[in-house]
């Protein structure tokens, strides 16, 4: 019987996440972001990220029902509810931060 792979410590996971954040922050163009994310993620993961981002943008417009957003974004109603919860109730405010920055940039 072989030993299972050792689990990472909480500190290692934290360090790895910080290294990922640093890598994302050094990207300078959409083409660089596309290349890095294509290497980093599976096509299904990229579709899921894009879908959630589409849902967040549609929710921010406040012009559509959850059902309409699900249809337009190709997302499940569960995904729409989850993204809406993060937009309204969660302390991270990641969606809100980026949505607001993109509005001021336009």
Digits of tens for pLDDT over the chain (106 positions)?
566 666 767 777 688 999 999 999 999 999 999 999 999 999 999 999 999 999 999 999 999 999 999 999 999 999 999 999 999 888 889 999 999 999 998 7
CB atoms under 10 Å from CB of 75, counted, come to 21
> What is the distance, to the nearest Å, from the Cα of residue 56 to the centroid of all Cα atoms in its chain?
10
pTM of the model: 0.82
Pinpoint the alpha helices (H) of 1-93. Answer: 10-25, 30-40, 43-61, 66-73, 77-88
Domain segments of the chain as ranges: 8-40, 42-106
DSSP letter, residue 89: T
């Amino acid at each position: 019987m072989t030993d299972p792979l050792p689990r990472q410590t909480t500190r290692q996971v934290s360090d790895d996440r910080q290294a990922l954040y640093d890598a994302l922050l050094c990207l300078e163009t959409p083409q660089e972001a596309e290349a890095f994310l294509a290497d980093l993620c599976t096509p299904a993961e990229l579709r899921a990220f894009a879908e959630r981002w589409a849902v967040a943008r549609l929710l921010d417009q406040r012009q559509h029902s959850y059902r309409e957003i699900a249809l337009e974004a190709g997302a499940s109603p569960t995904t729409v509810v989850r993204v809406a919860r993060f937009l309204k109730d969660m302390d991270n405010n990641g969606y809100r931060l980026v949505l607001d920055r993109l509005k001021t940039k336009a």
